[in-house]
Amino acid sequence: MKNQAYRMALLYDFYGEMLTDRQKEFYDLYYNEDLSLTEIAENYHMSRQGVRDAIVRAEAVLTELEDKTGLIRRFQERQKELRQLQELASAAQAANADPVVGDYLRRIQGLCEQLKQE
Amino acid sequence: MKNQAYRMALLYDFYGEMLTDRQKEFYDLYYNEDLSLTEIAENYHMSRQGVRDAIVRAEAVLTELEDKTGLIRRFQERQKELRQLQELASAAQAANADPVVGDYLRRIQGLCEQLKQE
């Protein structure tokens, strides 16, 4: 479970709202707050296994959503292309001597940066 | 239902894989093949109301996915920014006289076009 923390954070970011409130709580405590299964179980007066099952189910829901929609895969491809776009704009900027073109290139770079954050 | 055809096509494109096979079939016949509820009902030996319920349920699933994840809204914002990026690259191209910069700008325009298709 925790060895997949980065992958899970991405999944949660894209699809977290599809989980139940309880699943979100456990997920957050386990992955973001880094509590152990035993600590969560004690806080909620449940068995460790019960907490574990809830988190495993939540992971299954998130993983299925990605398997079926591929939206994270598409997001990552897009990020790669946006980085290429920025590199091209930087190279163009380095080769350019015209102030008008330079201004357009700066705006292109700014918009690429904005797109990468979305 | 059918007055929302464009919206539904987008929802289906993003989240269609989350529907059951039956829901996908009805959805496809109704929205893409443009069959009437009565025609679908006859083909499947069901009541018109049964077909209608299945399609309404499918729409509710798709709509809930978008309400919770906002991925289509983000997609549409991105498309708008990619169009702005293309306009900036075209304006830069029009103002530019340097062949090296012109080549970079053409590659930027090509990559923008590719990103818009994704």
Is ipTM beyond 0.85?
Answer: no
B9 and B52 belong to one structural domain: yes
pLDDT of residue B5: 79
Within this chain, do residues B65 and B13 fall inside the same structural domain, yes or no?
A: yes
Asked whether residue B4 carries a pLDDT value surpassing 80, the answer given is: no
Q: Is B42 on the interface with A (CB under 8 A)?
A: no
Distance between B34 CA and the closest CA of chain A, angstroms: 25
Whether B11 and B34 map to the same domain: the answer is: yes
How does the average pLDDT of chain A come out, rounded?
A: 92
CA–CA dist B36, A88 (Å, integer): 51
Q: Say what the pLDDT of residue B1 is.
A: 62
Whether residue A107 lies within 8 A of chain B, CB to CB, comes out as yes
The pLDDT-based confidence of A68 (bands split at 50, 70, 90) is: confident
Q: Domain of B105? A: 73-116
Long-range contacts of B73-80 (CB under 8 A, 24+ apart): B74/A118, B75/B14, B77/A118, B78/A115, B78/A118, B79/B116
A115/B101 Cβ within 8 A? no
Domains identified in chain A, total number: 2
Region B38-66: mean pLDDT is 94
At A93 the three-state DSSP class reads: helix
Residue A81 and residue A63 share a domain: no
Q: Which of B17, B89, B96 sits opposite A68 (nearest CB)?
A: B17
pTM above 0.90, yes or no: no
Distance from CA of B69 to the nearest CA of A (A): 6
Q: Please give the pLDDT value at position A94.
A: 96
Q: Are residues B65 and B24 in the same domain?
A: yes
Tell me the C-alpha distance between B39 and B26, whole Å.
11
pLDDT tens digit sequence for B38-47? 999 999 999 9
* Residues recorded for chain A: 118
CB atoms within 10 A of CB B62: 24
Alpha-carbon dihedral angle through residues A105, A107, A111, A114, given to the nearest 10 degrees: 120
Q: Of A18-32, B7-21, B100-114, where does the model show the most confidence?
A: B100-114
Q: Check which CATH number belongs to the domain holding B6 and give it.
A: 1.10.10.10
